[in-house]
Amino acid sequence: MRWSLLSLALVGVAALAYVMYTPAPEGITEPWKYSAFCGMLKTCQIIAKVLAYFDDGNYWKHYRHVRHWLRPATPSEIPGSNIRSRVTTFDGIKVRLYEPIKKQQGLSPALVFIHGGGFVIGSTETYDSVTRKIAEGLDMVVASIDYRLAPEFKIPTQHEDNLKAISWFMQNAEQFGIDSNHIGVAGDSAGGLMTAYISQVIHDDESLPDIKFQGLIYPFTQGLDFYTPSYQKYAKFLGEKGVLPRSTVIHMVSSAIKNDGDLSNASMLNMHTSAEFKTRVRKLVNHDDIPVEMKDEAYYMPPADVGDGDAQVWEKYRSIFLNRAVSPLLRDNMTGLPPAYIVTCGFDNLRDDGILYAKKLERAGVETILVNYDGGFHGMLWEGRFFEFQLAKEALQKFIILYMQNILYYVPKNKLKVKNEIIDFQYTMVKIFICFIETLNKNYIHLELLFSKVLLNSYIIIKKKNQNNSQFLVSLIL
């Protein structure tokens, strides 16, 4: 009897290990840690499904609860840190605000962060480790928005909450010691989508100053094509396992729009648009913009070989998928939008969404930096305190550096006392040193961060009037 129970237990453990185990594809960063990370997510999913089955059937609500139980502590202050956090509201929208304890004199720049989670999960608490690191790295005010989630609140509620909070923050910036003309917005995944969308909306709103900088971290930017090269690569190497398989992307999007089985089934086959509209999709989501080396013939099929369409589903949801709230990539005129830093990952279904958006910004003349971490995966920044990946750490540091370098182009009104030429020379010299460090070795990123902070904390920092001279000097040193 004892041996029978032991055998049964071993079989149960083996079966559980089989269900939980996600093989790490060759080339992914820190494979064993990645597999453990996926195992943790799978555990949360199983628990949430069981709870939802015995309760109201709302899987995402219970998944949020499970993740909430596992969240690390979110203290207001951490010993040795110059950042203090508190929960407040911006025009009725809950916000976790990170502020320097020792503040600089005068008005400073700031960052608004919009967390990801496919519109259905995530919170300022579960993202605290990420946003706190950003605030500490920048040593400036960071506001993390706790917007309402689907399926309880459908799209565009999430966009409206974020836009409302950011607009209020801009209009009341001075009471926080912030220059309203130097506020940037960043977000990951669905937060990246909303960052792109809000940057567009605020750019078009003449009553508000423009967003200074937009940071899109593995963003979702279009819902027309779920069969881009990155979706096909993911299916080849990870199938329906890993952090964000195709079925999870579609489940999240469908939950945020409407829980409709027909929509989900058609989207899984990439047939949620009509056959007639497919020709236009191929122009709007142009696979030719994806580098050839990212379209391996071992798995890639061009759009001409991909399915038909479902006219009935498309008729029902056409207006939603063509709305910039779901597909910011579809904006016709990108000219004049804020400078962008876009991060993509090699093992991510959404990799091409970020690349396509970057290409469109570049064609419109928008200053854009696109960084693809070939060994990275979707969500690698998320669990910074439980699973800290070195690649994610590098990506976050790079974001902090680029944000400081871009947000520097401003003149605090109360400090405009010296000639522009002096400050241009000061700015150029530090930038030259940063560029030189970058050419040496990526391991010198801490020096780049240090000198970016030197530049940020200069007595006066102003926008360069003659960028051509700066670029010429940089070219000489390199």
Task: Cite the active site residues.
Answer: 189, 348, 378
Q: What's the CA gap between 339 and 342, in Å, rounded?
A: 10
Q: What's the CA gap between 102 and 104, in Å, rounded?
A: 7
Q: Which residues of 190-207 are buried (b: 16+ CB within 10 A; e: fewer)?
A: bbbbbbbbbbbbbbeeee
Find how far residue 445's CA is from the centre of its chain: 21
Q: Omega of the bond prior to 156 within 30 degrees of 0, cis?
A: yes
Contact 118, 253 (CB under 8 A): yes
Give me the DSSP letters along 211-270. PS-EEEES----SS-S-SHHHHHHHHHTTT-SSS-HHHHHHHHHHHH---HHHHHHHHTT
**Would strands 108-114 and 141-145 be described as parallel, antiparallel, or unpaired?**
parallel
Q: How far is CA 437 from CA 138, 433, 446, 451, in A?
A: 20, 6, 10, 10
In angstroms, the first-to-last Cα distance of the chain is 76
Partners of residue 345 on adjacent β-strands: 373
What the block records as the tokens of 14 is 């083996």
